[in-house]
Amino acid sequence: MSSNLHPMLNVAIRAARAAGSIINRAALDIEAVRVSQKNMNDFVTEVDHASEATIIEQLLTAYPNHGILAEESGTQHGNPNADHVWIIDPLDGTTNFIHGFPVYCVSIALQVQGRIEQAVIYDPSRNDLFTATKGRGAYMNERRIRVSKRTRLSETLLSTGFPYRKTDHFNRTLRIIGEVMQQAAGVRRPGAAALDLAYVAAGFTDGFFETGLQPWDTAAGSLLVTEAGGLIGNYSGEADFLHRGECVAANPRIYGQLVQILQKHSRVNAQASAPADEGDVPAGGEPA
């Protein structure tokens, strides 16, 4: 780790790599991993819990007065009244992990008085480390990254998330994906929203959109995207997305074109308008 990095980012990197070691060891014998089900198609493993415990221990050892918001344990650790809050997804892409599909990551962000200021996303299967400090740019494996330069939606490769349980807005989501697919070069569903955002920041994809997300899915990735020159917000194009359950991110030119398609589907707008379509019920979060 570089001495030029912010000290809090260094701590987060160390915690992410420690969690990644746990994940990689478990990946050697996936069938031995104990799996339980939180909801339909929403799984948690002993690896999620061990990874989260390691991250929290390292962060609170370094900063005992900080707060914690973690996917599996919520806010039960740390200082609930802290200005500094670590937002943690210990294994984003659990469903991929338990099937041996190597698309998953560790996501850690530091929120200071409501703003994300540090971010780490670590892909242990590829040993790819994405980092960002507010105002200092975004990096992949210590190399500066930028969002793509494409300007036409018809040339873009986009990523998204599909409905995965009965409480999702199936009809609405399928309509959105159908509209976008007709205008983009390709749409992918890798299965780990945090890594999707890191790939937008690195320019591997040109944009990302999804509903039903939680803060730990998007916090770290949001800083990577903005520090790499991109934009991120809700489907209405507003910057308020972290607790809104919907997210769109892209380079500035593609962002505007995506918002034009997505804004009529925004749950933020829909809350004050007509009831959901037949077959639609409140959405859940991205599967871990």
**Binding positions:** 71, 89, 91-92, 217
Helices 252-262 and 170-181 cross at an angle (nearest 10°) of 130
Among 214, 6, 9, 28, which residue's Cα sits nearest to residue 129? 9
Among 68, 65, 286, which residue's Cα sits nearest to residue 197? 286
Instruction: Indicate the annotated binding residues for Mg(2+).
Output: 71, 89, 91-92, 217
Among 168, 167, 29, 188, which residue's Cα sits nearest to residue 97? 29
Q: Could you tell me how far CA 50 lies from the centroid of its own chain?
A: 20
List, as one string, the DSSP characters of 87-113: EEEEEETHHHHHTT----EEEEEEEET
Whether residue 185 contacts residue 154, with contact meaning beta carbons closer than 8 Å, is answered with yes
Distance CA 120, CA 109 (A): 6
Tokens 């929120």 appear where?
111
